[in-house]
C-alpha cells in the first residue's frame, strides 16, 4: 500500500493505491501482481482519517477505502476476492467489446446472436458482483 501524489502547491492531490501479490503458478519463487486498487484523488491538504487497526492486509484493505470493485462476501478470503475482482474486470471488457460489435453489426440475425451472448455475459457479471 502506498501514497501517490501529483501536482504541487495548491494543486497537489493525493490518493492511496494497493495491489495484492500472489505466487507465480509456473515459478513459486516469483510474485505476480494483481490489479491495482485505489481511492479517488483528494486535495493533499485535506484532513485524513487515521489508518484502521488491522492484523493483516485482508482486514486493512477494505477498511481503508471504498474500492471501485465488488464488495467482499462474508467469509471470503482476500485471495478469493482478488480473483473474483479480476474475473469481473474480464467480463466488463468482454461486455464492452460485444456492445461495440452490436453497434457496428448491420445484419439483424447476427445482432440477435450477439445480443444473446451479451445478455448472458451481463447475467454472469451480475452474479459475480453480488
Which backbone phi and psi does 10 adopt, to 5 degrees? -70, -20
- Whether this prediction's pTM lies above 0.75 is answered by no
pLDDT (0 to 100) of residue 70: 60
- Compute the distance between CA of residue 67 and CA of residue 59 in angstroms, rounded to an integer: 14
pLDDT (tens, 9 = 90+) of the chain, 130 residues, equals 788 999 988 899 998 888 878 888 899 899 888 778 788 898 988 887 777 777 776 667 666 654 555 666 667 777 787 788 889 989 999 999 999 999 999 999 999 999 999 999 999 999 988 7
- Compute the distance between CA of residue 8 and CA of residue 12 in angstroms, rounded to an integer: 4
Amino acid at each position: 500500500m502506498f501514497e501517490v501524489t501529483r501536482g504541487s502547491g495548491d494543486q497537489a492531490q493525493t490518493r492511496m493505491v494497493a495491489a495484492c501479490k500472489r505466487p507465480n503458478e509456473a515459478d513459486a519463487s516469483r510474485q505476480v501482481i494483481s490489479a491495482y486498487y485505489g481511492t479517488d484523488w483528494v486535495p493533499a491538504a485535506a484532513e485524513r482519517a487515521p489508518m484502521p487497526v488491522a492484523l493483516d492486509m485482508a482486514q486493512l484493505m477494505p477498511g481503508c477505502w471504498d474500492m471501485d470493485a465488488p464488495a467482499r462476501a462474508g467469509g471470503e478470503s482476500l485471495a478469493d476476492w482478488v480473483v473474483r475482482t479480476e474475473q469481473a474486470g474480464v467480463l466488463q471488457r468482454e461486455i464492452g467489446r460485444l456492445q461495440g460489435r452490436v453497434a457496428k453489426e448491420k445484419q439483424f440475425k447476427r445482432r440477435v446472436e450477439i445480443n444473446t451472448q451479451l445478455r448472458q455475459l451481463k447475467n454472469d457479471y451480475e452474479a459475480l458482483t453480488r
